[in-house]
Amino acid sequence: MKYAVLGTGMVGHSLASKLIALGHEVRMGARNPNSKEASKWADENGSLAGHGEFSAVSAWAERVIFAVNGARILDVADAVTNQAVAGKTVIDVTNPLDMSRGMPPTLIPEMSNTTSAGEALQTRLPDAQVVKTLNTMNHEIMVNPGQVPGSHDVFVCGDHETAKNETIEMLGEFGWTEPVDLGPLAAARGTEGMMPFWLRMWSVAGNANFNYKIVRS
Amino acid sequence: MKYAVLGTGMVGHSLASKLIALGHEVRMGARNPNSKEASKWADENGSLAGHGEFSAVSAWAERVIFAVNGARILDVADAVTNQAVAGKTVIDVTNPLDMSRGMPPTLIPEMSNTTSAGEALQTRLPDAQVVKTLNTMNHEIMVNPGQVPGSHDVFVCGDHETAKNETIEMLGEFGWTEPVDLGPLAAARGTEGMMPFWLRMWSVAGNANFNYKIVRS
């Protein structure tokens, strides 16, 4: 499968490298076509790896992953263009965090509570098939659930069943055997809304090596 | 111990009845001193049970539990008065939900994200010692953690150590052996912020008999 991973931070690196390890073709996307981070990653990850500008890698890919700063997600969507992702599964792993008020960050009001970053992305890219997932945990756990011992959960939601199934397939390759399907993309209001809790938990745990499990009878 | 449980809904009933079963003296508080729900509860719960108006039961009690509609919490605080709870542990189990927009409810902007219902309550009752807990689960699980099989978590936060310890003691009587201490009351922004997720999870689970566990290594 051809994946574009948009974002050159830790999340983008973890996802892109895992997809390469799984045998996929991956291009890391950045605003700058000559991004040092993206070209360095591509150089280090063999013949299946490449990089390029947001819209170019998105147009090339079969599946597109948004792993950018959540506060910038709509700017990145504009750079990608609706045309480049029309009919494609777009996997959004971002959180709409406002880092400008100090620590811990808060949610961006325009992208939370009565809406979400996932829904805002879908509105900005109307012909994409947006699925929200993986945004409730540290990037290392995203691609290696075994890093946290025992059973714990990943959540998925979206309005397009085929795209959701493709995402669940990818999650399965990562090691997530039973993703919890929360239904429509609007459920991203719930999973993105867990980030303020996550940040508090991170603070008291002293590390990010934890995850949620929904315990039920 | 003398507990005032403010609120005559399902949450108030569960907490008040459990505290009676544990041998505490409990008065259920309502806005109306002749509340039918509160007097019925008192009649059915023996000699340790009573009821009365918000401020009267709060002034009588050693510990006060807010189990009211989260949207009304500040109105109730005004009825209680700061004087009635000065120096006392005030346990807040509410969530600031706006039911006016249809289902699922959203968070009330004035009491979420950059603040919380717990913090708003502390500000309105400055001499109380507010502790937030139990607001992340169904009322039956609050007082009977064994209703969900296996291990799962309750969270506690507050700015007053003695009050937090008293709350942890009460949680222990309910069966919560290892509450997760999230630190200051501002962490209520995190736990109250989980409610939109909870509501989505409730919808797909088909029942409220589930709870969060934080899995860590």
- Residue pairs between chains A and B whose CB atoms are closer than 8 Å: 128
B104 DSSP 8-state letter: S
Question: Please, what is the average pLDDT of chain A?
Answer: 97
Res B217: pLDDT? 83
Instruction: Give tens-digit pLDDT for A100-157.
Output: 888 899 999 999 999 999 999 999 999 999 999 999 999 999 999 999 999 999 999 9
pLDDT at A101 (0 to 100) = 85
Which residues are within 8 A (CB) of A90 and not within 5 positions of it... i.e. 6 or more apart? A63, A64, A65, A66, A121, A125, A128, A129, A130, A131, A163
Closest chain A C-alpha to B115 CA, distance in angstroms: 10
- The three-state secondary structure class of B143 is coil
Chain B segment 54-83 residues within 8 A of A by beta carbon are: none
Spatial separation of the C-alpha atoms in residues B56 and B4, rounded to whole Å:
9
Question: What radius of gyration, in Å, describes the C-alpha atoms of chain B?
Answer: 16
B200, B132 Cβ separation under 8 angstroms: no
Percentage of residues in chain B having pLDDT higher than 70: 100
Structure confidence at residue A173 (pLDDT): 98
Give me the pLDDT at residue B135, please: 98
Residue given tokens 């109380």 in the structure block: B128
| Beta strands at B180-181 and B155-158: parallel, antiparallel or unpaired | parallel
- Mean pLDDT value across residues B50-60: 98
Sequence-separated (6 or more) residues with CB below 8 Å from residue A28:
A4, A5, A7, A8, A12, A16, A35, A37, A38, A41, A42, A49, A50, A51, A57
Q: At how many degrees (to 10) do helices B117-124 and B73-80 cross?
A: 20
ipTM of the complex: 0.96
CB nearest B197 (choices: A109, A193, A209): A193
Q: Nearest residue of A to residue B107 by CA position?
A: A113
- What value does the mean pLDDT take over residues B174-192? 98
**Rounded-to-integer distance, Cα A194 and Cα B47, Å:** 43
- Cα distances (Å, whole numbers) of residue B56 to A138, B5, B146: 48, 12, 34
Q: Is the CB of B150 inside 8 Å of chain A's CB atoms?
A: yes
Which percentage of chain A shows pLDDT scores above 90? 97
CA atoms within 13 A on the CB side of B78: 3
Q: pLDDT value at position A102?
A: 87
With tokens 């309005």, the residue in question is A159
Report the residue of A114, A138, A148, A201 to disrupt the B interface, i.e. the one with the largest count of B CBs within 10 Å.
A201
Cβ separation B210–A205 shorter than 8 A: no
Q: Is A212 in the B-facing interface, judged by CB distances under 8 Å?
A: yes
| CB-CB under 8 Å, A215 with B149 | yes
Q: How many residues does chain A have?
A: 217
Helix axes A36-44, A10-21, angle to 10 degrees: 20
**Tens place of pLDDT for every residue, chain A, 217 residues?**
999 999 999 999 999 999 999 999 999 999 999 999 999 999 999 999 999 999 999 999 999 999 999 999 999 999 999 999 999 999 999 999 999 888 899 999 999 999 999 999 999 999 999 999 999 999 999 999 999 999 999 999 999 999 999 999 999 999 999 999 999 999 999 999 999 999 999 999 999 999 999 999 8
CA distances from A138 to A117, A142, A144 (A): 18, 6, 10
Mean pLDDT of chain B: 97
Structure tokens at A30: 């950045």
Q: Does B146 reach chain A within 8 Å, measured CB to CB? A: no
Residue B213, judged by CB atoms within 10 A of its CB (0-12, 13-18, 19+), counts as buried
Phi-psi group of B206: left, alpha or beta (phi > 0 → left; psi -120 to 50 → alpha; rest → beta): left
pTM above 0.95, yes or no: yes
Question: pLDDT band at residue B1, thresholds of 50, 70 and 90?
Answer: very high
Question: What pLDDT does residue A217 have?
Answer: 83
pLDDT at A107: 98
CA distance A147 to chain B (A): 8
